[in-house]
Structure formats: structure tokens, C-alpha cells
Copies of this chain bind each other. A is one copy, B any other.
Amino acid sequence: MHDLIRQAEALCQRSGMAFTAPRRRVLEILAASETPMKAYDLISKAGEGGQATKPPTVYRALDFLCQLGLVHRIEQDATFVACNHAGHSHPMALFVCNTCLKATEVAYDEVVPILEKAAEVQGFHLTRLVVEGRGQCRDCALAA
């Protein structure tokens, strides 16, 4: 998980952006979490020990990290998860296990042109795509 932090430092340096304390803190917490986290859990966690942390601080950090592709927002349930393809920009889907709540990240290049085409048939030009799912992950399937 420390890889991700180093990844972030490098990425920021290259693009002339600051990897500041709150941004680092939020990313560290997310990277250490087994499952996607809700914003307010993140806010409490970030406030543990040090000074109290307020919503805008964390939301700003999340926006930043999401834009860099280091963190993904899961729209289905408004949670956030650290990326495990560190800095990828290829299309990916996030599948959340109903049992253990962990998220599985899956690349799906194949799908994009199909959806783009399907949209284009109706005259719709896609600029952003959200693909998410629910189901059962490998570990939970084996445990059953």
C-alpha cells in the first residue's frame, strides 16, 4: 500500500501539484482500508489523534485524488476506494461484493466501443462512463 503513496508523490511532482498533508492522510487511510469507505468514516478516521478534521477538507482531498485516478468514487453507495492499478487511466469497472463489501476493479476496454456505438445510434456522444456492479467475490464464493 505504500506503493500507492509513492505513486502519488511521483504523479504530483510530474504534474506540478502539491501532495499536501490532508491529501496524503486521506490516501493513506483509504489505502489501508480493506473495503471502500464512506466519506464521514474517513472524516472521523482522519480526525483521530491529530486535530479535528471537517468535511470540506476531506471532500477536497477526495476530489483531488479522484481526478488523479488514485481514488475512485463508487456511485452506487457513495463510497471511496483506493485504486489498485495505481494511476491507470484505462476504463475500469468496480464490482462490490454483497457479503464482504470489498471492491474488485476490472478493466473492460472491450466494452467501451460497444457502448459508444450503442449511444451513437441514438445520437448520443459519450464523454464519461460509469460501470459498476454488485455480486459475490471469489473469496466469499469459496467460503460458501
Contacts and interface: CB of A to CB of B under 8 A. Distances in A.
A20 interface: no
A119 B134 contact: no
Contacts of A125: 135-136, 141
A119 B135 contact: yes
Nearest to A126: B135
A100 to B, nearest CB: 11
Contact of A106 (B110, B122, B141): B122
B124 A137 contact: yes
Number of identical protomers: 2
A98 interface: yes
A8 to B, nearest CB: 25
Interface residues of A, number: 36
Contact of A114 (B108, B121, B141): B108
A130 B130 contact: yes
A87 B117 CA distance: 24
Interface string A38-63: 00000000000000000000000000
A67 interface: no
Interface in A109-140: 110-111, 114-115, 118-119, 121-139
- A-B pairs, top 5 by smallest CB distance, nearest first, are A123-B138, A75-B75, A128-B134, A126-B135, A130-B132
